Amino acid sequence: MTYPVTHQARRQEGKVTRAGQTRPSSVRGGLIVLAVIAGFALGLVVLTIGPKFVSAWQESRWLRRAETSLKQGNFSAAKEAAHQALELNRDSLSAYEILAETTEKQNRAETVGWRGQIARLRPRDTASQLNLASAALRFGQLDTARKALENVPKENRESASYHVVAGWLSRAQGDEACQERHFAAALEKEPHNETYQYNLAAVRIKLPDAQKQVQARATLEHLAQSAPFRVGSLRALLNDAIQRSNLEAADRFAQELQLSPQVTFSDDLLCLDFYKKLDQKKLATLLEKVKPLAAHEPDDLAALMGWMNANGMSADVLRWMEKLPAEKTANPPAAVEVADAFSAQKNWARLRRWTKGDDWGESEYLRLAYQAYARQQSRQEGAEAESVWHDAERACEENPEREIRLARLASKWNLPAQAEQLWLRVAHDPFSRREALDSLFAIYRANNDLPNLYLTAMRLHETSPGEPLIAAEYARLSFLLDRNRDEGRRVAKEAFDQAPTEPPCAVAQALFLNLAGRAGDGIAILQKLPPEKLHDPRLALYLAVLLLNNGKPEAAREFIDEANSGFVFPEEKKLLEEAVQKHAPPAAPSAAPQPSPTASPTAMSASGSRCERDLASRAR
């Protein structure tokens, strides 16, 4: 007999038993799946992070090795280890810092590149940009230095460190006025910083401002008691005393300088400058003492010969050369100074023989230059001389230091065509651009080449925008040549606002006021200058032009006479002649005499004609 209820309970119990057996199996399966997933994840993490971790560990190991080598002074090992770190991480800031410090200590131009990489990685960091600018200045890369200063955040451009670096950049560009302003700003930020005190005093002692000179001398005399600044201060003070012919002070500074343990051979030459002014006998005695010392070192020997050549003692150089062993003078640098002595003595035959010998190595371009000059001055081999000169130019191509030295020689020898081409090439080098532009300006001024004079003045202003005298000359030429007068007007006003008592700045502003129909205002500006300056021929000329334009020919006569009494440039003379022709009283038409108690028209006409002829004769 069957009991359905009993069977049903058993079936349910069986189901429960099977379910209990299934649940552990499902859990085990899930765990297996999770384990597999975790394994894949861990593998992925290891594959992704593992190499980075290993690479970071290796980079750290190379950096520690580089730092240790740098501290030990093993620069080659430090550089090699830092390069290995860079192979692992191209943006390793620490590696770039080690490379920058290493190459800086080796005085290598590569420093600029490494500082550039640091600045790239830290574009908003002021110190990184200033370090780049300083390194670029050290190695003559002015454009890089200028760009780095431009990248300094504007809010950080009032710091003392920024003004110091900007001041050195201004000096490298030849902008002494801007240099002084930056050094003064740095000192204002940190008035007790002796380095900043020295920087500013060394600049101001050379300025024409008497009050600033007095302050600079006092600062330098104080700093001369401080060991780090003693020699530099004494040099500046001695040079200043020599320039002012203050022989008593110069004697004191020279003695103190010679007793300093840091004295150099250049300081001995500075002392020679002093004794040259003080006493020729003492100079001769000191010179005989210095000669044996100089003969020990090739550079010192050349430096002393160069000093003697520069001070009109080239004949003594040649006599001394005859007494020295041939091996000391046959090669540069002394051989170059001997050639210069032959040139100064106009002994072209001996100069040709002296420069016809062996190759002078890195100074070969100088041997060729002196050989070419000797041939040219002999006036026998013009074509050959030109060919040798071209050889000298080719020997210094793509080398700014050689090009600038050859350009200086061309200017010294009064070879304007050759000098112009060389200075144009040198002007592409930011470090030498100011000297090149100054030299080109002198060449174009001597040739009265006004278009090129204007372009050179414009480039000078771009190079040294803080110098009001350069700005005034640029503005003056802009007015006279009718080139971009709107720009000229702006530059003239800026120059006048900066230096209203400087005659060139006053003249430029007065000219543009006259152009705007305000001749009276221009006259007022010029008449505010000291009376003695108004009698300078060039300044008198401009005042005469403005007076004529303002309808005052009688008042202009005195200044026309002043202009004719001295030197004025051709374009200025033309300006005056045009003003006289335009504004002199015209001759009245002839008329029959009419009885009148006053002067007749004929008499007035004659008077006007005499005035016109008088002014015209004064303008010629």
DSSP states along 93-133 = HHHHHHHHHHHHHTT-THHHHHHHHHHHHSTT-HHHHHHHH
pLDDT of residue 615: 41
Separation between Cα atoms, residue 278 and residue 283, nearest integer Å: 8
Rounded to an integer, what distance in angstroms lies between the CA atom of residue 58 and that of residue 54? 6
Which two tokens mark 456? 């050179």
What percent of the chain is predicted at pLDDT more than 70?
85
Q: Is residue 304 part of a domain?
A: no
Q: Is 143 a member of any domain?
A: no
Higher pLDDT, 541 or 5: 541
Q: Indicate the burial class of 377 (C-beta count within 10 angstroms; 0-12, 13-18, 19 or more).
A: middle
pLDDT tops 70 at residue 303? yes
The average confidence (pLDDT) of the chain is 84
Q: Is 31 exposed, middle or buried (0-12, 13-18, 19+ CB in 10 A)?
A: exposed
Is residue 493 situated within a structural domain?
yes
pLDDT at residue 590 greater than cutoff 50:
no
pLDDT digit string, tens, across residues 159-214: 999 999 999 998 888 788 889 999 999 999 999 999 999 999 999 999 888 899 99
What's the pLDDT at 53?
55
Is residue 601's pLDDT more than 70? no
Does 520 fall in a domain?
yes
Q: Let me know if 239 is exposed, middle or buried by CB neighbors in 10 A (0-12, 13-18, 19+).
A: middle
Q: Are 345 and 314 in contact (CB under 8 A)?
A: yes
Spatial distance between the Cα atoms of 391 and 332, rounded to a whole number of angstroms: 19
- Per-residue pLDDT band at 589 (split at 50, 70, 90): very low
pLDDT of the residue at 26: 65
Domain membership flag for residue 472: no
Q: Is the pTM of this model over 0.85?
A: no
- Per-residue confidence (pLDDT) for residue 48, from 0 to 100: 56
Distance of CA 604 to the CA centre of its chain: 61
CB atoms closer than 10 angstroms to residue 505: 26
- Whether residue 608 is contained in a domain is answered as yes
**Exposure b/e, 558-576, CB count within 10 A at least 16 = b:** bbbebbbeeebeeebeebb
Residue 611, domain CATH: 1.25.40
Q: Is the confidence at residue 607, as pLDDT, over 90? A: no
Asked if the structure places residue 538 within a domain, the reply is: yes
DSSP 8-state class, residue 209: -
DSSP H or E segment with residue 77: helix 75-88
pLDDT at 29 over 80: no
Q: What is the pLDDT of residue 368?
A: 95
Quote the number of domains for the chain: 1
377-394: pLDDT as tens digits? 987 666 888 999 999 999
Model pLDDT, residue 141 = 83
Inside any domain, residue 72: no
Could you tell me where the DSSP H helices lie in 379-467?
Answer: 382-395, 400-412, 416-426, 433-446, 450-463
Expressed as residue numbers, the domain containing 546 is 485-590+600-619
